[in-house]
Amino acid sequence: MQVLFVVLALGGLVATVWLWPRLSGPSWRSIAARVGVLVADQTLLLLAVAVVINAYFGFFGSWGDLLGTNAADAPAITAGTAGMAGTAAGGAGLVRVLGSRPVEVTRPKAGLPAGRLEQVTITGARTGLSSPAYVYLPPQYFDKKYAGRRFPVILGLTGYPGDAENLVTRLDLPTLTATSILAHEIGPTVLVLMRPTVAPPRDTECVDVPGGPQVETYFTSDVPHAMAAAFRVGTEAANWGILGGSTGGYCALKLTMRHPEAFSAAVSLSGYFHALMDMTTGDLFGGNRRLQDENDLMWRLANLPAPPVSVLVTSSRQGESNYQATEQFLAAVKPPMRASSLILPSGGHNFATWNRELPQALPWLAQQLHAPAQPPSPPASTEGPRRLAREAPLRLARRPRPGHHAPRHKVAKKR
């Protein structure tokens, strides 16, 4: 397609050279014709540049994608065969709340409370890095019946350079999560919405840069620690998952595969599989080839033991440059790692495509997570308040009940 538009633009310039002497008369028709030729040349040139840029960055995969006519639902997720304005309370100054507002939903049950969205900054105790974020708290977080409970967490990441606000305004993740919770598609889940660019304007590809920003440590250690100190969220890997698009998708896969002690599941929307290096990243590895290899997901699958995590990767047969790489990644996964895929017939590297994928991808991720184990309630006693008060410490020391595990999202068998 881009070749056709480039040829048309060049053809228009050649035609202009041939026509121009013939349109040099003083009549109004000649003047109008010259203006028309110039307008046509400029239009063809702009279209050719736009098509080439779109082909390079993959913003739109088809005319239907550009015009918003690709409204058909995404296909089913395919399971792989390689194994199935202050400081938040208790945050110790690590999470600073800048604002708060209710989340509203129009379906499936209008009028019900849908939770709150907190605008915050999260500071890392280990790295000293600080980044803006949004925290979505489900309605159950404020319900007295859940007063002593902790919740599973999904960390959402934008692409580069990105803005955490895009996850709210363009992907509408808080509303989608609230709607899924109210529809009982997923259990109560907290969202932490951020951008991977925590040392702007540098694109660190979520790497602990030698002598530079320790972004990997920030996301795998600092953010979970700060969230657990400020909010009632789980602290085990089984309680945490990551979802991201583009650069955020690469970060989601990499952080989960490299740190199964921190995250148990990931969704990569149009992500890639090795760190990109260009003028925006600089030298990410300080000449350390081993470190570079360890941040290459295909190298890890070929040379290191597979981690016990679950991942979902998305792409499009038409319009996404990562389609072949995604197929290769899926083929390389081996147990105990589990990989599923969501492949669209057509879709570009953009929010419109990701909005088509999220209604399946978000519930899939939430259903991989376990709710944190909850402390048991003291059993009722017929021996009076005094006896119960004396024995309560002993009873509270008993082994806690296992946490609830939401049912898995049904997936289609691999074609």
Q: What is the pLDDT of residues 205-224, one digit of tens each?
A: 999 999 999 999 999 999 99
Token digits for 62? Answer: 């088809």
Q: Using CA atoms, how far apart are residues 292 and 294, in angstroms rounded to an integer?
A: 5
pLDDT surpasses 90 at 190: yes
pLDDT surpasses 80 at 121: yes
pLDDT surpasses 50 at 394: no
Cβ neighbors of 353 (< 8 A, separation 6 or more) are 61, 65, 269, 270, 316, 319, 320, 344, 347
Please name the residue that has the structure tokens 């895009």.
Answer: 166
The per-residue pLDDT for 49 is 74
pLDDT surpasses 80 at 151: yes
- The residue with greater pLDDT, 116 or 66, is 116
Which spans in 20-105 are helix H? Answer: 28-57, 63-67
Could you tell me whether strands 240-245 and 153-157 are parallel, antiparallel, or unpaired per DSSP bridges? parallel
Amino acid at 173: L
- The residue with greater pLDDT, 279 or 40, is 279
The per-residue pLDDT for 87 is 60
Please name the residue that has the structure tokens 């529809």.
Answer: 183
Residue 92 DSSP symbol: T
Q: Is the peptide bond before 378 cis (omega within 30 degrees of 0)?
A: no
Q: Using CA atoms, how far apart are residues 51 and 3, in angstroms rounded to an integer?
A: 9
pLDDT surpasses 90 at 76: no
Q: Using CA atoms, how far apart are residues 215 and 217, in angstroms rounded to an integer?
A: 5
Q: Using CA atoms, how far apart are residues 167 and 334, in angstroms rounded to an integer?
A: 32
If phi over 0 gives left and psi between -120 and 50 gives alpha, with beta otherwise, what is residue 208? Answer: beta
- Give residue 5's pLDDT band: very low, low, confident or very high (50, 70, 90): low
* Each residue's pLDDT tens digit, 353-392: 999 999 999 999 999 999 998 765 555 443 333 322 222 2
